Every structure is written in structure tokens, then in C-alpha cells.
């Protein structure tokens, strides 16, 4: 995993943070951002696109928040636990909302089922990292 290699290559200590949970969370954030973006695009291709407006919006919001969180977690210089916690809380909240929205369409749209699963994984990774913060 490239995230782990980059964390290993960091020239200074990472601070008081669980390296494995950090790497898992970064990977989950970037995966979720990609899946949510693809789900929104797939929703746009559905015949019932008008009924999927909220799903599309939620997907795109979640993708943006996950991407930003993954990027912020990747920066270790000047680490601030309070800012990190705020990013993680926002990401977990967005992932929960997106998972719930996509689960409502999962029986009709496979892309929504896949998206909900990715959101749940990311939400859990964020919560696991939050729990490990000092």
C-alpha cells in the first residue's frame, strides 16, 4: 500500500498516532472518494435520475469530504490532534449519511450497494482512528 510506504518514509516521527489505523483510514478515505464519485456518475446514467438527486448530492459531498480528509491525514508536519479529530468526525458523518442514502437505493442499483459498503468501511476507519487518538 503506497500510503504505508509514504508513512514509513516520513523523515520524522509521526507523533502519537497509530500508524496502521492511520494508513487504513487514508486508504479508506481515498477509496470512498472514488466510489462515491463513480456512484454519482452512475446515478446520472439511470433512467430515474430525477429521483436520485439527493443521492447524487450526498455522493458528491461525501467524495469531497473523504478526499480532503485523506489529503489532510497524509500531511504529518505540524500535526494538530484537534484538527485531525475534526476532519475525522466530519468524514465519518458524511460517510454515514451517504451510506444511509445509498442503502435506500441498493436493492435497485448495484452501484448504490457498492457505495454504501465503501462508506461504511470509511466511517468505521475514521471512528477507529478517532478512538486511538490521545
- 2-19 tens-digit pLDDT: 656 767 666 566 667 788
- 96-105 tens-digit pLDDT: 999 999 999 9
- Encode 55-67 in three state secondary structure: HHHHHHHHHHHHH
CB 36 within 8 A of CB 118: yes
Instruction: Name residues whose C-beta falls within 8 Å of residue 61's C-beta, 6 or more positions apart in sequence.
Output: 94, 97, 98
CB 27 within 8 A of CB 3: yes
CB 23 within 8 A of CB 7: yes
Three cell numbers at 96? 454515514
Three cell numbers at 25? 483510514
Residues of the chain with pLDDT under 70: 1-4, 6, 8-15, 134
Q: For 18-132, give the CATH class.
A: mainly alpha
**Residues written for the chain:** 134
Amino acid at each position: 500500500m503506497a500510503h504505508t510506504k509514504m508513512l514509513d518514509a516520513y523523515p520524522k516521527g509521526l507523533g502519537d498516532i497509530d500508524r496502521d489505523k492511520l494508513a487504513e483510514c487514508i486508504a479508506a478515505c481515498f477509496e470512498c472518494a472514488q466510489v462515491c464519485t463513480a456512484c454519482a456518475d452512475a446515478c446520472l446514467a439511470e433512467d430515474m435520475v430525477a429521483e436520485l438527486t439527493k443521492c447524487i448530492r450526498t455522493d458528491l459531498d461525501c467524495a469531497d469530504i473523504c478526499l480532503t480528509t485523506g489529503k489532510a491525514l497524509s500531511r504529518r508536519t505540524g500535526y494538530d490532534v484537534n484538527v485531525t479529530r475534526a476532519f475525522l468526525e466530519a468524514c465519518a458523518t458524511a460517510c454515514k449519511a451517504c451510506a444511509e442514502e445509498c442503502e435506500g437505493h441498493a436493492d435497485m442499483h448495484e452501484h448504490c450497494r457498492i457505495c454504501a459498503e465503501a462508506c461504511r468501511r470509511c466511517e468505521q476507519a475514521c471512528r477507529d482512528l478517532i478512538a486511538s487518538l490521545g
